[in-house]
Structures are given as structure tokens and as C-alpha cells.
Structure 1
């Protein structure tokens, strides 16, 4: 079990297509402090050719994509199917 398994479990239980959590909420959920790297958008979003980190796998396994808002210290988790559909229609 990874550090982010409790977050993945919470996301799986969500009925809504999106949920916004503060960094502090996430720290409470995972029972630990987020790394300093979490202050960069790339920590939350997997690069297309980059390695999948434990947090990326947790979001993806739960069926969500992370949309970080670093200044607000919040993350909007959107169901992957909805996020993909939004990207398909925007361009």
C-alpha cells in the first residue's frame, strides 16, 4: 500500500464527477506532510513521457485526473472520462 492509497480510496467513493481538496485536507487523508515538490504542478500531473509516480498512479487508479491550483493550495480532482471529454471539446 502506498502513502496515497487512502486518497485513492476517498476518490473512488466520490459520487460527484469532481472534488476539490486543500493541501491540508490531503495531508490529513494520507496522514503525512506533502513533499515540497507538491508546490509544482508537475508533481500532480504526469508528463506524457515521464514516469508514473506513486501519487499519479493513485489518482489514475481511482479514475481521476488532478488539476492543481498551487497558489490556492488546492487540487481539483476530475473524473478522467470527464476531463478527457473536456479536452476533446476544447480544441
Structure 2
């Protein structure tokens, strides 16, 4: 189990197609501080390097979301992945 399992579980119960969470909100969900690397957009990009497994990316993917750090550098947009037909 990783800290990001809590984020995965939180995202799984979300009904909206898109939501934005501040770093502070994410830290509350995972009950831990995010690393400084979380300020980099590439740390969140779920589709950027699919071969590079990182726990925060895996949590988002398992919950069915694509994560994108926002231009403000202090929040992340989570967007539901389209379902395969």
C-alpha cells in the first residue's frame, strides 16, 4: 500500500468527469506531504511516460483518471479517462 492508495480511492468515488484539487487538498487525502517533485508537471502526467511506473500516476490510472498539474503550479486537474467501447 502506498500513500497514493488513498488518492486512488478518493478519485474512484467521484462522479464528476473533471475535478481540480489543490496540493493541500491532495495532502489531506493522502495524509502526507507531497514531495517537491510534485511541483513539476511531468511528475503528474499520466500519459507522458507510461513505461515509467510511479505510484501517484498508477493511483490516478487505477481510478480511471488522467492527472495534469495546473498552470498555477499549486493544483492538479483530474479528468476521467474515456471508456473503451
Place the TM-score, normalised by the shorter chain, in its bin: 0.7 to 0.9
TM-score, scaled relative to structure 2: 0.88
Higher Cα Rg: structure 1 or 2? 1
Alignment check: 8 A CA contact 1:7 1:58 kept: yes
Equivalences for 1:66-77 in 2 at 5 Å? 66-77=67-78
Quote the RMSD (CA, aligned, Å): 1.6
- TM-score normalised according to structure 1 size: 0.82
Kindly indicate which of the two structures has a greater share of residues assigned to helix: 1
Q: Which position in structure 1 is the counterpart of 2:4? A: 4
Post-superposition shift, 1:71?
2.2
Structure 1 unaligned residues grouped into runs of 5+: 83-91
